[in-house]
Amino acid sequence: MLRVPFVLAVFFSSLPFMIALQWALARVAPSRWGPTSVGYYRFLCRLLRIRVRVQGVPVTGTPVLIVSNHVSWADIVVLGAIAPMVFVAKRDISGWPLIGAAARVQKVVFVDRERRQQTGNTVSEMAARLAEGHPVVLFAEGTSSDGNRVLPFRTALIGAAAAVREDGNITELVLQPLSIAYPGLGGLPMGRAQRPRVAWYGDLDFLPHLKNFIRRNDVDAVVSFGTPVVADDGHDRKTTARTLEAAVRQMTVGVLRGRVAKTG
């Protein structure tokens, strides 16, 4: 019973320190921003009892837009614990107390999907992050799911890749499919009915869901990196979106069914 207040107390007491540290590092020691970010997310994984397993190899050494499915708020913690990454998130989060400030020092790119005229600003921010050498994570479904399926990818989001290349004067941009799945709880496989306990989707209130998540036993998260695709003018965005969606779905289904996902 004391676990929930303990975890929340540790999280909300450590968060202001992390915000101040990341803000300072971005200005005086930018090379330390990434390792510090990964270290903090790994600390959160231990605090929340999330066990992370990685399949496949992330692209390095070139600008990469990671195209992923989306299950839960926990996705951010899990992916951030693997390597320095920048996320594209809905603008509502920027107004959340403390969480919004943390997102800003973590270089999150905010997008307002209800105001299409601001798309140019979002593209420019994504291009700037890529130019700085940060992989950018795009949750291509545009929302989160119940953890049992991969929703159709939004082609408009995938189409932003061409605009990012042009805006950032990037000669080569790689799109890498990524699957995140939560196949186990407490050392046992989770069935379809159990996975929504980890997923945060629909109209679920955040704090009650977070408390229930903390009460759970160890959660297993599997992150699968797929075969990258070079973004160029010769590929139709709808075709590219379908290719990436199929790759993410195949990896996700493989993990949930207990198979080793084919990552390329």
Instruction: Decide: 177 and 51 in contact? Cβ < 8 Å.
Output: no
Torsion sign, CA atoms 162, 144, 177, 19: positive
57: closest CA among 175, 178, 180?
Answer: 178
Low-confidence ranges of the chain (pLDDT < 70): 1, 113-120, 157-159, 162, 166-169, 232-235, 259-264
- d(CA 57, CA 158) in angstroms, rounded, equals 21
Residue 262: predicted pLDDT:
47
Residue 263: predicted pLDDT:
45
Residue 264: predicted pLDDT:
45
pLDDT tens-place string over residues 34-50: 999 999 999 999 999 99
Q: Please report, for the chain, the start and end positions of each structural domain, with discontinuous segments joined by +.
A: 3-256
- Provide the CATH topology of domain 3-256: Glycerol-3-phosphate (1)-acyltransferase (3.40.1130)
135: closest CA among 175, 89, 90, 81?
Answer: 175
Residue 261: predicted pLDDT:
46
- d(CA 260, CA 149) in angstroms, rounded, equals 17
Residue 209: predicted pLDDT:
84
Backbone angles phi, psi at 109, to 5 degrees: -95, 115
Long-range pairs for 116-121 at CB < 8 Å and ≥24 separation? 119/160
